[in-house]
Amino acid sequence: MSEEIRFFEVGPRDGLQNEKTILEPASRVEMVEGLVAAGVEDIEIGSFVHPKWVPQMKGTDEVAQKIERKEGVRYWALVPNRKGLKRAMDVGVDHVAVFMSATESHNKKNLNRTREQSLHELGEVIGEARSQGLVVRAYVSTAFGCPFEGEVDFQEVLRIGEELLDSGAEHLSLGDTIGVGSPPEIAEGCRRALQAFGVEKVALHLHDTQGLALANALVAYQQGVRLFDGAVGGMGGCPYAPGAAGNVASEDMINLFRQMDTSVGIKAEAICEVAEWLRDELGFRISGRYCDYWRAHRESGDE
Ligand code: HMG
Ligand code: MG
């Protein structure tokens, strides 16, 4: 089994979408470019959702137009529907992520649709995107617990995931949207998803509500997952999922895999620089641990 990890940075989208302070497009461009300079090769630059639903993501069109694209990097944007896809394609985005929930209540809160409506609508969006040559990722949110319904039947995650893959998504990202999955639950869910779809098709998207995200990443890795999401500084959360904390911090994940001699190809220190700059711009608290460690060693000249 491959030791290589692919890391997928969601900070400029999931990280910023729940912040009180709205970052201007020019700063969002700087953020994306800083993360890419650190070695990130998959990055979500923003979303094309309704600006009334998520005002923080207004201006993603400007971000997409202004970023200086680096060869070998996949720049993704989140789209909820056909209108979002059109907005993305109008500004040259060629990697899009669609999303829906494993549970009915969260899907309605987040997308104003039933799950069956979303499956139908996203099937069309994926088909249209593929016919235009785009690559599509599909999130299945609330895969390990729902803020409204509690426990989730993982069979539903697999059913929805299979439909989205059949429609043409390149891979799934299983979202622990509110960070309630326990290590045994995450391990079992990943085992079943890997068995059903294969390693190339499964990513894990952890929110770190209870400080268990790194443990969950580790058990998922032991099951064979090789694609992990994270957000710089541990920012983020879904505005329509009460109780959702930030994503697992990218720099902590990268450090974890580096400690295990697993190749990630990203400099955790350079991610910390971006996290500190963002903290100063937005006033959030960096929730990961590695930045503190790195800063202490940098200050003592012991890097
Ligand atoms: P709706 O109100 O049902 O929309 O919202 P509609 O289809 O009825 O259309 C109403 C109006 O909105 C129309 O305009 C549309 O054109 C317009 P009007 O004719 O009235 O002038 N509209 C749009 N405008 C701009 N961009 C669009 C768009 N679509 C319609 N894309 C909608 C449905 C999907 C738009 C809304 O529910 C929405 O924007 N939801 C997004 C919520 C969101 O962004 N949540 C956070 C991201 S998901 C997440 O964080 C989880 C994840 O990280 C994984 C995990 O953690 O598990 C991915
Ligand atoms: Mg998320």
pLDDT tens, position by position, 92-104:
999 999 999 999 9
How far is Cα 42 from Cα 214, in angstroms, rounded to an integer?
20
Q: What is the pLDDT of residues 37-53, one digit of tens each?
A: 999 999 999 999 999 99
The pLDDT, as a whole number, for residue 303 is 53
The domain tally of the chain equals 1
At 284, which CATH number?
A: 3.20.20.70
Distance 54 CA to ligand 2 centre (A): 14
Which distant-in-sequence residues (6+ apart) come within 8 Å of 297 by Cβ? 303
190 among known catalytic residues = no
| Residue 49 near ligand 1, beta carbon < 6 Å | yes
The pLDDT, as a whole number, for residue 1 is 56
* Buried-state track 139-154, b at ≥16 Cβ within 10 A, e below 16: bbbbbbbbbeeeebeb
Query: Is a pLDDT exceeding 70 seen at residue 192?
Result: yes
Distance 14 CA to ligand 1 centre (A): 15
Identify which has the larger pLDDT, 246 or 244.
Answer: 246
**Atom of ligand 1 at shortest range from CA of 51:** 25
Active-site hit among 146, 190, 238, 291: 238
Q: Does this model's pTM top 0.95?
A: yes
Query: Is a pLDDT exceeding 60 seen at residue 36?
Result: yes
Parent domain of 246: 6-299
Q: What is the pLDDT of residues 70-86, one digit of tens each?
A: 999 999 999 999 999 99
Does residue 1 sit within a domain?
A: no
- Asked if 123 and 80 touch (Cβ cutoff 8 Å), the reply is no
Q: What is the pLDDT of residues 105-145, one digit of tens each?
A: 999 999 999 999 999 999 999 999 999 999 999 999 999 99
Query: Is a pLDDT exceeding 60 seen at residue 220?
Result: yes
The pLDDT, as a whole number, for residue 302 is 61
Does residue 264 sit within a domain?
A: yes
